[in-house]
Amino acid sequence: MPQLIVLPNEQLCPDGALIDAKPGVSICDTLLEHGIEIEHACEKSCACTTCHVVVREGFESLDPSEELEDDMLDKAWGLEPASRLSCQAIVKDQDLVIEIPKYTINLASESH
């Protein structure tokens, strides 16, 4: 079973985490199932960037992103070549090391 290694995030996961991940499940759903409350303002419909993660290791094991995800990622804070929307990145059979960026762009909360 692949593992999801989550690097420490001050707010969501201060000590980091080591999670047994099920192949075929998104990174976002895996995090949520294990108590890491990553934002997902669009309810995982690829319509925002709040679930943005950087895949530090194992990026090449993920299916390539589709055009809609790429368009959304262009708006993400702290975009890197290994950035993905966690709601769209499906765990395969390889371990993944992910970093949850310190900031997100949550258009719903910024408009108030």
Q: Any idea where the domains of the chain sit in the sequence? A: 3-110
Which residue is listed with tokens 């980091």?
Answer: 16
Q: What homologous superfamily is domain 3-110 in, according to CATH?
A: Beta-grasp domain (3.10.20.30)
Supply the pTM of this predicted model: 0.91
Q: Is 46 left (phi over 0), alpha (psi -120 to 50) or beta?
A: left
The first and second tokens of residue 17, run together, are 């985490």
Please state, in angstroms and rounded to a whole number, the distance separating the CA atoms of residues 76 and 61.
22
Q: In this structure, how many other beta carbons lie within 10 angstroms of the beta carbon of residue 73?
A: 18
How confident is the prediction along the chain (112 residues), in pLDDT tens digits per residue?
A: 999 999 999 999 999 999 999 999 999 999 999 999 999 999 999 999 999 999 999 999 999 999 999 999 999 989 999 999 999 999 999 999 999 998 776 644 443 3
